[in-house]
Amino acid sequence: MDNIFWNLKETLSYNKLLNFIVGARGCGKSYGCKEWCIDDYKKTGKQFIWVRRFNSEFTDFKTTYFNDIKHNYPDDDLSILSNQYSHKFLFNDEIMGYGIPLSISLKKKSIPYNNVDKIIFDEFIIEKGSSHYLKNEVEVFLDLMETVIRLRDDFKCAMFIANAITFTNPYFLYFNIIKPNNKKMIKTLGDILIQFVSNNDFITLKKESRFGKLIEGSNYARFSIENEFLRDNADFIIPTPPNLRYLFTMKSKNILYGIWVNYDKGIMYASAKVDPSCRLIYTTMIEEHKPNTMLLKGGSRSSLFDGFVKNFKCGCVYFDSITTKNVILETIKHTL
206 and 301 in a single domain? The answer is no
pLDDT tens digits, one per residue of 169-198:
889 888 988 878 787 889 999 999 999 886
**Where a domain ends, among 224, 253, 282?**
224
Q: For the domain that residue 191 is a member of, what is the CATH number? A: 3.40.50.300
Burial 259-297 (b: 16+ CB within 10 A, else e): bbbbeeeebbbbbeebeeeeebbbbbbeebeeeeebebe
Domain presence at residue 68: yes
58 and 203 in a single domain? The answer is yes
**Where a domain ends, among 224, 254, 289?**
224
12 and 51 in a single domain? The answer is yes
45 and 183 in a single domain? The answer is yes
Stretch among 53-57, 59-63, 264-268, 316-320 having the lowest mean pLDDT: 59-63
Q: Decide: 145 and 158 in contact? Cβ < 8 Å.
A: yes
CA distance 313 to 220: 27
Domain presence at residue 315: yes
- Domain of 66 in residue numbering reads as 2-224
Residue 94's SS3 state is strand
CA distance 259 to 269: 6
197 and 256 in a single domain? The answer is no
Instruction: Output the pLDDT for position 205.
Output: 59
Q: Decide: 332 and 309 in contact? Cβ < 8 Å.
A: yes
Q: pLDDT category, 274, cuts 50, 70, 90?
A: very high
CA distance 129 to 332: 17
189 and 114 in a single domain? The answer is yes
122 and 167 in a single domain? The answer is yes
What's the structural domain count of the chain? Answer: 2
Domain presence at residue 237: no
CA distance 33 to 181: 25
**Where a domain ends, among 193, 224, 255?**
224
Q: Which of 101, 96, 109 is nearest to 144 (CA)?
A: 109
57 and 157 in a single domain? The answer is yes
- Around Cβ 105, how many Cβ atoms within 10 Å? 19
59 and 105 in a single domain? The answer is yes
CA distance 137 to 129: 17
Answer yes or no: is pLDDT of 1 > 50: no
Percent with pLDDT over 70 in the chain: 85
